[in-house]
Amino acid sequence: MRKKESPAIDQEQLVAAWKRTLPTVLNASDKVSVYADEADPQAIRITILAEGRSGYEFDFTCRYVDDREVKVQLVDAERDEVTVDERGERIQQMVEDYIRHIHECAQVLHAETHA
């Protein structure tokens, strides 16, 4: 059984790498903020503003399960600064799309996070 390891870089470097890389895998009109999850040194927080999609904003946590795998969870979905029900089909499709992009970014960063 493979030992689970944390990313090979510290959280500050991880945030910087995600800030640099995530915008390259998202839609050009989307805006993204990446910052440290102060409660968990193995996690980052991601906010995506779907500029071209009627003012939706999504907050995610992205936690490294090991140096290769991330677990992404939606924390909140808003439209025009009001929390919306994220169970609707359109929002679910957007969330799934963003989660795919976040996983794609983690794969791109694998060389930096793997010891």
pLDDT digits (tens, 9 = 90+) for 66-95: 777 899 999 999 998 899 988 889 899 999
- What pLDDT digit, counting tens, does each position of 25-38 carry? 998 889 999 999 99
The verdict on residue 80 lying in a domain is yes
Please give the residue that has the higher pLDDT: either 52 or 74: 74
The verdict on residue 6 lying in a domain is no
In which domain, by residue range, is 19 found?
11-113
As beta bridge partners, residue 32 has 48
The verdict on residue 5 lying in a domain is no
> What are the tokens at 49?
């503003």
The verdict on residue 4 lying in a domain is no
CB 20 within 8 A of CB 34: no
Residue 21 has pLDDT above 90, yes or no: yes
pLDDT of residue 53: 58
**SS3 for 96?**
helix
The verdict on residue 3 lying in a domain is no
The verdict on residue 39 lying in a domain is yes
Distance CA 111, CA 50 (A): 28
Q: How many domains does the chain have?
A: 1
> What are the tokens at 95?
């969330």
The verdict on residue 1 lying in a domain is no
